[in-house]
């Protein structure tokens, strides 16, 4: 189809606007937060996969686990966690799906809740990992180093929302003590760490805005601005807020027209795998002795480092002989 001059510039303007919207950068240095507006989310019900879920999977697919089979259970367990045959499952969190849309019906109203890591201000997963595989970044997000994770799942145990998910048959434990230590590698949302370090927004945020424009469910920005906007809206619009006080505060805030007490009560009634508790206990502070943990971690790491060195040295010697 031929375009006249006016049509050409109209199309060009539209494409430029789309490009700017899709690749909106920022130069801010500091902690970020995400505002998730449940009053706007419809779960992309007219599409086969919600846009944010699809974008997350596409962005992180190069990091998804490829387990070595057959997978052997490690002593004393007789089971292991293997999601590799359920890679297409998108209605829950898995090592292959770091974001999903949770559906709840309250008073005849369908509510769609994007669920992923909350990125706590004081993340118990970071302090609770005995191998130092988790870290909190300057931007406020929490990241798992897959190369040194043993899949012990302590991060999931201490997480108030039980977010990290484990895949067996992958990770450093296979090179050390596959029958006696380690259960694989843990996976979760890291807020698109590589993207935000490049000055780009998380993939889920961009994908949602491309679909809904100014009515986008997600808003990402400097923490102070996101918190200020959330508090302004609950005051002016009578909305309810979640994530600002739970576990001492998080980098993920939810706005809802329905009280979160009702949402959590419904999730409990549904026996949902992932819930939204209002009063969140800091398990790390209450049940784990930091000093004893530090000593234990040092001992375990020391032993594993020695074993790793011996294994790698033996492997190198064998290769030289060959």
What is the tens place of the pLDDT at every residue in 163-176?
Answer: 999 999 999 999 98
Q: Where are the beta strands (DSSP E) in the chain?
A: 32-37, 100-106, 109-115, 134-136, 142-144, 165-167, 185-187, 218-222, 240-242, 252-256
* 18, part of any domain: no
* Tokens (6 digits) for 232: 């302004």
One pLDDT digit (tens) per residue for the chain, 322 residues: 455 555 555 444 444 444 444 445 666 779 999 999 999 999 999 999 999 999 999 999 999 999 999 998 877 888 899 999 999 999 999 999 999 999 999 999 999 999 999 999 999 999 989 889 999 999 999 999 999 999 999 999 999 999 999 999 999 999 988 877 778 999 999 999 999 999 999 999 999 999 999 999 999 999 999 999 999 999 999 999 999 999 999 999 999 999 999 999 999 999 999 999 999 876 666 665 444 444 444 445 544 544 444 444 444 444 444 4
Q: Quick one: 90 and 104 in the same domain?
A: yes
Cα–Cα distance, 205 to 191 (Å, whole number): 10
Paired tokens of 305:
């480092």
Q: Do 253 and 315 fall within a single domain?
A: no
Q: Is residue 2 one of the residues assigned to a domain?
A: no
Shared-domain flag, residues 222 and 244: yes
Predicted confidence at residue 2, as pLDDT, reads 53
Q: Is residue 187 part of a domain?
A: yes
In a domain, 166, yes or no: yes
Same domain, 38 and 98: yes
pLDDT value, residue 299: 45
Q: For residue 21, tell me if it sits in a domain.
A: no
Residues 282 and 297 in one domain: no
Q: Structurally, how many domains does the chain consist of?
A: 2
Single pTM value for the model: 0.82
**Range list of H helices, 71-153:** 124-128
Phi, psi of 255 (to 5 degrees): -110, 140
Residue-wise pLDDT for 12-57, tens only, equals: 444 444 444 444 566 677 999 999 999 999 999 999 999 999 999 9
Same domain, 279 and 148: yes
Domain span at residue 241? 31-288
Residues 264 and 305 occupy one common structural domain:
no
> Do 149 and 250 belong together in one domain?
yes
> What's the rounded Cα separation, in Å, for the pair 250 and 242?
9
The answer to whether residue 1 sits within a structural domain is no
How far lies 296's CA from each of 52, 254, 289, 301, 309, in Å? 40, 37, 10, 8, 20
**CATH number of the domain within which 85 lies:** 3.30.70.20
Residues 81, 204 within the same domain? yes
pLDDT at res. 177:
80
Same domain, 279 and 134: yes
The set of residues, in sequence order, having a beta carbon less than 8 Å from that of 20 and lying 6+ positions away, is: none
Flag whether 15 is in a domain. Answer: no
Do residues 274 and 310 both lie within one domain? no
Q: Is residue 162 part of a domain?
A: yes
177 and 304 in a single domain? The answer is no
3-state secondary structure of 235: helix
pLDDT score for 74: 78
């Amino acid at each position: 189809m031929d375009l006249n001059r006016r049509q050409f510039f109209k199309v060009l303007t539209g494409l430029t606007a789309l490009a700017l919207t899709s690749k909106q950068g920022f130069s801010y240095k500091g902690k970020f937060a995400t505002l998730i507006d449940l009053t706007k989310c419809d779960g992309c019900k007219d599409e086969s996969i919600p846009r944010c879920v699809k974008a997350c999977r596409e962005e992180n697919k190069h990091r998804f686990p490829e387990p070595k089979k057959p997978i052997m259970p490690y002593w004393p367990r007789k089971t292991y966690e293997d999601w590799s045959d359920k890679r297409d499952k998108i209605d829950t969190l898995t090592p292959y799906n770091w974001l999903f849309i949770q559906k709840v019906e309250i008073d005849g109203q369908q509510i769609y809740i994007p669920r992923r890591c909350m990125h706590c201000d004081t993340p118990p997963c970071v302090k609770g990992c005995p191998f130092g595989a988790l870290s909190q970044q300057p931007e406020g997000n929490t990241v798992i180093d897959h190369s040194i994770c043993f899949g012990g799942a302590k991060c999931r145990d201490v997480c108030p929302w039980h977010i990290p998910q484990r895949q067996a048959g992958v990770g450093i434990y296979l090179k050390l003590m596959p029958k006696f230590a380690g259960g694989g590698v843990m996976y979760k949302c890291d807020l698109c760490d590589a993207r935000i370090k490049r000055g780009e927004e998380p993939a889920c945020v961009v994908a949602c805005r491309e679909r809904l424009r100014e009515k986008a469910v997600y808003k990402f920005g400097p923490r102070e601005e996101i918190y200020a906007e959330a508090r302004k809206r609950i005051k002016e619009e009578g909305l309810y807020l979640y994530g600002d006080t739970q576990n001492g505060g998080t980098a993920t805030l939810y706005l809802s027209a329905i009280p979160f007490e009702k949402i959590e009560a419904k999730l409990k009634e549904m026996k949902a795998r992932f819930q939204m508790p209002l009063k969140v206990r800091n398990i790390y502070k209450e049940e784990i002795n930091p000093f004893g943990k530090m000593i234990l971690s040092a001992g375990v790491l020391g032993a594993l480092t020695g074993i790793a060195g011996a294994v790698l040295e033996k492997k190198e010697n064998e290769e030289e002989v060959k």
